[in-house]
Structure 1
Amino acid sequence: MLPAPLTLGLFAAAAVVLLFWGIWETRTKDPLVDLRTAIIPRVLLTNIASIFVGFGMYASMLVMPQILQMPEATGYGLGQSILAAGLWMAPAGLMMLVLSPVGGRLTDSRGPKFTLVLGGAIIALGYGVGMLGMGSTWGLLVTGLVINSGVALAYGAMPALIMGSVPISETAAANGFNALMRSLGTTTGAAVIGLVP
């Protein structure tokens, strides 16, 4: 099924506005966001990683409660109540809290690039674990723990990578742009998961 003409028109209008905004920002004396810093390779790659990490985090946070709460009669649901599903997912959220200081120490000793790559690898491992463990509450618990461990490491490393790559006067704008890229990843994850029946 094709999108409605209004939706396609709004996408086209958004692309045109984005193009004109980019031209304006590169030509103005005091830009809101200095787009020249966004194309520094290290910043650009960090922003791309932010999109994927945001997508991976949010996709798991949307799929897991659905699987936990779907009736067992569906053949894949685990029949948990809303409260039980929240309790099964809570340790994954706590894992991010616990690993944040570990990620900081790892960044101090090995550098933010290493921490980001390690975080991304752990997220991928978490999805691999999920392929094996989606049939049980314990499997989903372990999947959530592994994915959120990777998210904690990756998200913690991103600001350090950005701040180490841009002039001091641009750190706030560059980190704000990176936060926007994270949001782009999470909203894209929500939209894609919303389309999956």
Structure 2
Amino acid sequence: MAPRTRELLISAAAELLDAGGREAVTLREVGHRAGVSHNAPYKHFANKEALLAGVAARELTQLGASLAALSQRDLPADAVLRAALREYVGWALAYPARFALVFSPWTAEFGDLATAADSSRSTLLGIVEAAQRAGQLPSGDTERVTGLLQAVVHGAVDLAVIGHLAVGGKGNADPDGLVDDLLGYLRASAAIVTSA
């Protein structure tokens, strides 16, 4: 019964986060929304930050599982990379408050969150490395290339969420379009280096 209650609490917290940001998430309201006593959240989470870390860990676990499923498909490395980045962008745009939460600073160490973050990052690194081996991305430090890709995804999503990036408007692109542009530039760069 306890794991189910914990998951209900995390789901309720995620809904409140989506509706009103971090401020809307209180342990009392989470308990109420989950249909448990107002003290039940304290049996599973030491405080609000621990509950939010549970939400973030679940988000990263789900994102990592989606990326891992893509990497298992019988597709060329560049198609897997593009699909993975599209999945990343799609999740971030669908759940901007969860996206912001996952990549926010934490004041304490949370084991489940660290494990989920390491696992999803490792999956993304594997996808990028496969694209590098296939000559679709420049060779070199996979961490840096992955960081570059994430920086564009994060920046584009942030700009789109606040209304500073739109097809036909500012930037004349959406996040997927900018990611496609970057992949095209990186693919061309890899081809130049390979042919030199």
Fold shared per TM-score above 0.5: no
Question: What is the TM-score with the length of structure 2 in the denominator?
Answer: 0.37
- The structure with the greater share of residues assigned to helix is 1
* Larger RCO (alpha carbons 8 Å, 6+ apart): 1
